[in-house]
Amino acid sequence: MKMKKKRKESEASGWSSNLPEISKSHHSLERRSRLNKRCREDRGVATVPPSRGASLLLTPSRGLKRKIGCIDKATQMGRSMRIEDDYVTGGSAIGQGKFGSVTVCRARANGAEHACKTLRKGEETVHREVEIMQHVSGHPGVVTLEAVYEDDERWHLVMELCSGGRLVDRMKEGPCSEHVAAGVLKEVMLVVKYCHDMGVVHRDIKPENVLLTGSGKIKLADFGLAIRISEGQNLTGVAGSPAYVAPEVLSGRYSEKVDIWSSGVLLHALLVGGLPFKGDSPEAVFEEIKNVKLDFQTGVWESISKPARDLVGRMLTRDVSARIAADEVLRHPWILFYTERTLKMLPFKSKLKLQNAAASAPESGLGGNKIDDDGSLDEDYSSPFSSSESCNSENHEDCVWIDALSTAVSRVRISETKRTKLWGPTTTSPLDQQGSSNMKTNLCKAF
């Protein structure tokens, strides 16, 4: 039996208020999952990072070999105790799924609040989620797994409580400015790169699974569909959320680059406030994912800078070999232009809804439902959702000017004839004369 876990429908409907439609798509996905239940994952032996004492003679790879399912002793310690011994449970509900729930619990030792994810036993993916969370926990961009307890019927995962809510709730306020979108994508891609380096594919990147701390830092959560992958390994089995699933997943064989596609869909939604692939049913969405040619040149995209459009296109290409990897996304000129330390990162506009009252949030309600499966941040880096900076009109004007400048510069074209008339055939252009200018480094090269 395979596990399908998702947040309660009322929360997952951030993309659409049409609850009956979401419920309908949920059942359709479940039926589709049963039909695909025979699909096989290449499990066998996966890898973990080598310890510091590992031999230097080891062949470079994604780490030392370890069989899937191993739980570290630090996690096993809690399994001999009851969760009630260490935590006060039964707090307010955060989320509810088919196989479990997430509630607030409080540590008896110091009164600190945590999130407690309770999952029913008997599901293969439950144990895999525990093992993978143990494996990747510790990165500042991953929700921290504090402890794991079990009783006769359930697993209890005690995790960091992200009091800032979900990214999808922020996105309801309308499209983000480019510098905010770049900041969000950078933080997400730092975690994705880390997971890929650790031999883990998340397979469910979407705004519902991107959480915010009280200080506005971004955390990737929900590893229920995550799976280990070895170097050069191909995965099989349909897994993901309809609007965010990569086309190769539907074809049956894929790699870690499915996370890049899903992140590209997320970037699309951040920039224009809508999903690229829509439909009245999961099947209709899948057909669009496989066949619709995306246009980043007309309509709403005319107000988006060319570098931003270039990055979205590179992430949403169906040619897997041409799709860029996580480290390439982080090195893209558009990301560097908006997130380098020389450029002030402006905060998310909490009152963006008032300024964009006519803007609509992503339209498809299918993004929040799952298909059942059968590098750290710089210390000086400021989160785009940082609550320490005020959302004043001056910052908003700066945001508008920066985006307008990047859009204008990206469209500048000077023919050779005009260049000769302006500077002469042997004259060095004014830009070339600005030797050590930060403007040349951060702006000219970015475009």
d(CA 112, CA 146): 12
pLDDT in tens, 372-395: 544 444 444 456 665 433 333 344
Does residue 262 or residue 22 have the better pLDDT?
Answer: 262
Residue 420, pLDDT score: 59
Mean pLDDT of 166-181: 91
Minimal CA–CA distance to 257: which of 179, 339, 329?
329
* Angstrom distances, CA of residue 203 to CA of 12, 71, 196, 384, 413: 17, 21, 11, 24, 40
Average confidence score pLDDT of the chain: 71
Backbone angles phi, psi at 420, to 5 degrees: -65, -40
Mean pLDDT of 60-76: 39
Angle at 251 between CA 18 and CA 256, to 5 degrees: 90
Residue 18, pLDDT score: 35
Question: Is pLDDT at 243 greater than 90 in this prediction?
Answer: yes
Domains belonging to the chain, first-starting first, are 73-160 (3.30.200.20), 163-339 (1.10.510.10)
pLDDT in tens, 308-328: 999 999 999 999 999 999 999
Question: Is pLDDT at 171 greater than 70 in this prediction?
Answer: yes
Mean pLDDT of 343-353: 41
Q: How confident is the model at residue 128 (pLDDT cuts 50, 70, 90)?
A: confident
- Return the active site residues: 204
Mean pLDDT of 55-62: 34
pLDDT in tens, 78-100: 445 789 999 999 888 887 766 67
Mean pLDDT of 28-57: 38
Residue 359, pLDDT score: 40
- How many Cβ atoms from other residues are within 10 Å of residue 421's Cβ? 10
pTM: 0.66
